[in-house]
Amino acid sequence: MSPLTIIEANPYPLSLNTKSTTLLLIDMQRDFLEPGGFGETLGNDVSLLRRTIEPCQNILKAARNVGLSVIHTREGHRPDLTDAPPSKLTRGKLETGIGDDGPMGRILIRGEIGHDIIPELTPNLNEPIIDKPGKGAFYETDLHLILQNRGIKTLIVCGITTEVCVHTTVREANDRGYECLILEDCVGSYFPEFQRVGIEMIKAQGGIFGWVSDSSSVISAISTC
């Protein structure tokens, strides 16, 4: 069977080689997605993010079945907060913010329950987890090194939130020469308008940041590889 396939996508179909493609799942963490977590305590409706869980489970299962490389990321900081810029800690003047005690342990601190990936998408032992201090998955991490060592050229991007960590990562990836395919049903925002416009921005101008498709199109394409 050939590792080459063509994905139905916008603004035009994308050719990819499954041997040089990674599924990148961004920040599917309990504090952002679960009722009672950090995201909800900030007044957000987590159901807008939770609709991504089932499609992410489906693409993750398909990727594992065909042996596609899978990488997960988590946003968070050291317990002593030495890797957190003061600007990030004070921004928003939050009553309960990064490093404070929250409903699932200290908020966005590595090792705490809320920082972990939701149980529906638990990483397998052979799937690297990138712990990132910023919004972008390339900033101060070894993601680029891992992708280069694996000969990866194309990223299938899922996760949250569309306009923050997904966009930042896709822009970083684009400037480093990666092709990005964003799955619309697998990325989510607390703000419906940002979801809509965030998707539009990626595929505008001939695919200025990449391509947009959905989980079922990719699953049917890679399952025949």
Point out the residues that are catalytic.
27, 132, 165
Please report how close the Cβ of residue 12 comes to ligand TIU at its closest, in angstroms: 28
CB atoms within 10 A of CB 183: 26
Residue 160 binding ligand TIU, by CB under 6 A: yes
Residue 156 binding ligand TIU, by CB under 6 A: no
Which span sits near ligand TIU by CB under 6 A: 2-10, 52-60, 92-100, 160-168? 160-168
Please report how close the Cβ of residue 168 comes to ligand TIU at its closest, in angstroms: 8
Residue 161 binding ligand TIU, by CB under 6 A: yes
Exactly one of 56, 164, 170, 173 binds ligand TIU (CB under 6 A); which one? 164
Residue 131 binding ligand TIU, by CB under 6 A: no
CB atoms within 10 A of CB 71: 21
Please report how close the Cβ of residue 200 comes to ligand TIU at its closest, in angstroms: 18
Assigned token pair, 31: 């504090």
Q: Which is nearer to ligand TIU, 75 or 185 (CB)?
A: 75
Chain centroid to CA 172: 13
Query: Which long-range CB contacts under 8 A does 4-8 form with residues at least 24 apart?
Result: 4/225, 5/221, 5/222, 5/224, 5/225, 6/221, 7/181, 7/211, 7/213, 7/217, 7/218, 7/221, 8/213, 8/217, 8/221
